[in-house]
Structure 1
Amino acid sequence: MYPWILVSTIENWLYIALSLVAVVLAVWAFGDCLIRGKDQFERAGQKTKTFWLLLTGVAAFVGVVSMAGAVNSLGAGFSLFQIAALCVAAVYLAGPRGELKLFGSGGSRPYGY
């Protein structure tokens, strides 16, 4: 077996694994945004829920479509759209999500945990 075939195979599987991680993060961000209340966004001083739903929804869609393309073509590469989708998901999960957790759902639990 030629060594470049082995390297190419490993590279393809690595791209598929990275695509899977990007999809999981994007879907997680969209799902978390979906379950949060509209008033939580207002109390946290963040952009509106509609804004974040739109961004994370597009990121999840792009991630799923790109993942399907990567699996179909055996790891065609990590595209620019996947990187953008991953950035949107990471920004939501690192920023607004943490602040939204502080304001909770307005129930009887203190601090929203």
Structure 2
Amino acid sequence: MVAFAIQSWINLILWIAILGVLLWAFADCVIRRKDAFPAIGTMPKVGWMLVIGLMVLLTFFTSFGLFAYIGAGLAAYYLLDVRRGLREAAEGPW
């Protein structure tokens, strides 16, 4: 009985963390320049906003499950790869 309560708390914490990372990725995508996305050879800004926004909605409304894991991977890819490329395109490598 206690194990189920602990598991539900862990799932809730993970769900909130994943939703926060997805919202961070979406907000970062919104503030980036539109012309920087094709400059680094990635999907256009509107495409990233649609994909990340859809994952935010699916993660929020379906609770913790497959969409949360897919959204976490998508947000991690955007924040660790695409975001770095966008910053380097705007500011330079140094």
Q: How does 1:56-95 map to 2 (within 5 A)?
A: 56-66=52-62, 69=63, 78-95=64-81
Aligned partner of residue 46 in structure 1, secondary structure: coil
Q: Which amino acid counterpart does residue 14 of structure 2 have in structure 1?
A: L
Partners of 1:26 and 1:63 within 8 A in 2: no
Q: Give the length in aligned residue pairs.
A: 94
Larger Rg: 1
1:36 to 23, 32, 38: 32
Confirm whether residue 20 of structure 1 aligns to residue 1 of structure 2.
no
What's the counterpart of residue 51 of structure 1?
47
**Aligned-pair distance for 1:112?**
8.6
Cα offsets for 1:68-90 (capped at 9, x unmatched)? x4xxxxxxxx3111111112111
CA-based RMSD? 1.8
Paired with 2:74 and 2:8, the residues of 1 have a C-alpha distance of 24
**Aligned-pair distance for 1:38?**
0.7
Which structure 1 segments of 5+ residues have no match? 70-77, 105-109
Normalising by structure 1, report the TM-score. Answer: 0.74
Normalising by structure 2, report the TM-score. Answer: 0.88
Which structure 2 segments of 5+ residues have no match? none
Moved over 6 A (4+): none
Q: Identity of aligned pairs, percent?
A: 29
**Aligned-pair distance for 1:111?**
2.9
Q: Which amino acid counterpart does residue 94 of structure 1 have in structure 2?
A: L
Paired with 1:30 and 1:112, the residues of 2 have a C-alpha distance of 23
What's the counterpart of residue 85 of structure 2?
99
